[in-house]
Amino acid sequence: MFSIKFLVLFLLFYYFNIMFFGLTSPGNNYNAFLDEHLNYVAWLRWGLLHTSSFILNHIGFISIVSTTELLVVSHNKIQLIYSCLGLGVMSFFAAFVIAYPKKLKPKLWFLLAGLLGIQALNILRLMVLALYWNRSRARIVDHHLIFDVFIYIVIVIALYRWVNNTSTNQNAANRPIDIQ
């Protein structure tokens, strides 16, 4: 049952994000109301760019932000496109946590902490890319692939620890067996 719930939720979240991005991007199925009033994709992009810029400015760099780009003076400019937002990773994480059979309160806390942690790592990645990424070497190393592998390893470790945490999961694998 968990596997089916997880798969259905993941596909729902993942493809909803893609559909919503399509509806809020000018083109065939553009919806001005969604774009202007409910565009969480733009809000996430804004938050990632401005948080990265804020931190960079406070550690001594000069950065400039546009609606889709982050420029660090005397370093690099990065463009934050849809695939950089982490919505696929967040869809996977949220689907797993919601589908897993645990009590609601631990689920909500872990879901919130995990989603914030994913975006904190994404902000760190954006800052590192803005400071050190070189386009000429980008043909050899795909930073999306490296980040995806890294973030999924972090998520798998976090999920493993959460699933096997005896304080929030009465069915955890490492719980002592009570034989009567």
Which tokens in the block code for residue 61?
Answer: 């760099």
What pLDDT was estimated at residue 34?
96
Domain assignment present for residue 174? The answer is no
What pLDDT was estimated at residue 145?
84
74-88, 91-105, 122-136, 153-167: the lowest-pLDDT one: 122-136
| Average pLDDT rounded to a whole number, residues 39-57 | 97
| More confident call, 91 vs 137 | 91
Q: Which domain holds residue 157?
A: 2-163
> Which of these, 40, 20, 38, 37, lies nearest to 29 by C-alpha position?
20
What is the average pLDDT value for the chain, to the nearest integer?
90
Domain assignment present for residue 123? The answer is yes
Q: Predicted confidence band at 180 (pLDDT cuts at 50, 70, 90)? A: very low
Domain assignment present for residue 180? The answer is no
Percent of the chain with pLDDT over 70: 89
Whether 112 and 90 have beta carbons less than 8 Å apart is answered as: no
Domain assignment present for residue 54? The answer is yes
Whether 64 and 73 have beta carbons less than 8 Å apart is answered as: yes
CA 126 – CA 120 distance, rounded (Å) = 10
* Predicted model pTM: 0.87
Domain assignment present for residue 178? The answer is no
Domain assignment present for residue 77? The answer is yes
Q: What is the pLDDT of residues 127-144, one digit of tens each?
A: 999 998 876 665 666 778
| Domains held by the chain: number | 1
Domain assignment present for residue 84? The answer is yes
| 29, amino acid identity | N
Domain assignment present for residue 107? The answer is yes
